[in-house]
Amino acid sequence: MALRYKTRRRLSLLILLVGLPVYLGLAWYLTSLIGRPNVLLEILIYVGLGVLWALPFKAVFKGVGQAPPDDER
Protein backbone atom coordinates (compact mmCIF):
# COMPACT_ATOMS: atom_id res chain seq x y z
CA MET A 1 0.00 0.00 0.00
CA ALA A 2 1.40 3.36 -1.04
CA LEU A 3 1.41 6.23 1.42
CA ARG A 4 -0.59 9.32 0.60
CA TYR A 5 1.31 12.52 -0.09
CA LYS A 6 0.16 14.20 3.13
CA THR A 7 1.15 11.16 5.20
CA ARG A 8 4.59 11.06 3.58
CA ARG A 9 5.12 14.76 4.34
CA ARG A 10 4.21 14.31 7.99
CA LEU A 11 6.28 11.14 8.32
CA SER A 12 9.30 12.78 6.69
CA LEU A 13 9.03 15.72 9.08
CA LEU A 14 8.85 13.34 12.05
CA ILE A 15 11.87 11.42 10.78
CA LEU A 16 13.92 14.59 10.30
CA LEU A 17 12.96 16.28 13.59
CA VAL A 18 12.96 13.25 15.90
CA GLY A 19 14.59 10.29 14.20
CA LEU A 20 17.66 12.01 12.78
CA PRO A 21 18.83 13.56 16.10
CA VAL A 22 18.31 10.21 17.83
CA TYR A 23 20.30 8.47 15.08
CA LEU A 24 23.07 11.09 15.30
CA GLY A 25 23.35 10.61 19.05
CA LEU A 26 23.43 6.85 18.67
CA ALA A 27 26.06 7.01 15.92
CA TRP A 28 28.14 9.41 17.99
CA TYR A 29 27.92 7.14 21.03
CA LEU A 30 28.78 3.98 19.09
CA THR A 31 31.79 5.59 17.41
CA SER A 32 33.02 6.84 20.79
CA LEU A 33 33.09 3.24 22.03
CA ILE A 34 35.75 2.26 19.48
CA GLY A 35 38.04 5.14 20.43
CA ARG A 36 39.43 7.86 18.23
CA PRO A 37 40.50 6.37 14.88
CA ASN A 38 42.55 8.09 12.19
CA VAL A 39 40.90 11.31 10.95
CA LEU A 40 40.29 9.95 7.44
CA LEU A 41 38.77 6.75 8.82
CA GLU A 42 36.57 8.77 11.16
CA ILE A 43 35.33 10.90 8.24
CA LEU A 44 34.57 7.76 6.23
CA ILE A 45 32.65 6.28 9.17
CA TYR A 46 30.51 9.40 9.58
CA VAL A 47 29.88 9.73 5.84
CA GLY A 48 28.90 6.05 5.67
CA LEU A 49 26.56 6.40 8.62
CA GLY A 50 25.14 9.59 7.09
CA VAL A 51 24.22 7.77 3.90
CA LEU A 52 23.08 4.62 5.73
CA TRP A 53 20.30 6.34 7.71
CA ALA A 54 18.58 7.66 4.59
CA LEU A 55 18.40 4.44 2.59
CA PRO A 56 15.42 2.89 4.42
CA PHE A 57 13.47 6.16 4.12
CA LYS A 58 14.07 6.79 0.43
CA ALA A 59 10.44 6.01 -0.47
CA VAL A 60 9.16 8.38 2.23
CA PHE A 61 11.27 11.34 1.13
CA LYS A 62 10.78 10.86 -2.62
CA GLY A 63 8.71 13.72 -4.07
CA VAL A 64 7.94 15.40 -0.74
CA GLY A 65 9.42 18.74 -1.77
CA GLN A 66 7.32 18.96 -4.91
CA ALA A 67 3.79 20.25 -5.34
CA PRO A 68 1.06 17.86 -4.23
CA PRO A 69 -0.39 15.60 -6.90
CA ASP A 70 -3.60 16.72 -8.60
CA ASP A 71 -5.70 13.98 -7.00
CA GLU A 72 -4.87 15.18 -3.45
CA ARG A 73 -5.43 18.92 -3.84
Mean pLDDT within 39-56: 87
16 pLDDT above the threshold of 80: yes
pTM: 0.72
- For 2-27, what is the mean pLDDT? 90
Residue 39: per-residue pLDDT: 87
Residues in the chain: 73
Mean pLDDT of the region 56-65? 85
Instruction: Give how far Cα 56 sits from Cα of 33, 36, 59, Å.
Output: 25, 28, 8
The DSSP code sequence of 12-70 is: HHHIIIIIHHHHHHHHHHHHHHT----HHHHHHHHHHHHHHTTGGGHHHHTTTTSPPPG
Task: Check residue 21 and give its pLDDT.
Answer: 92
- The predicted pLDDT at position 72 comes to 59
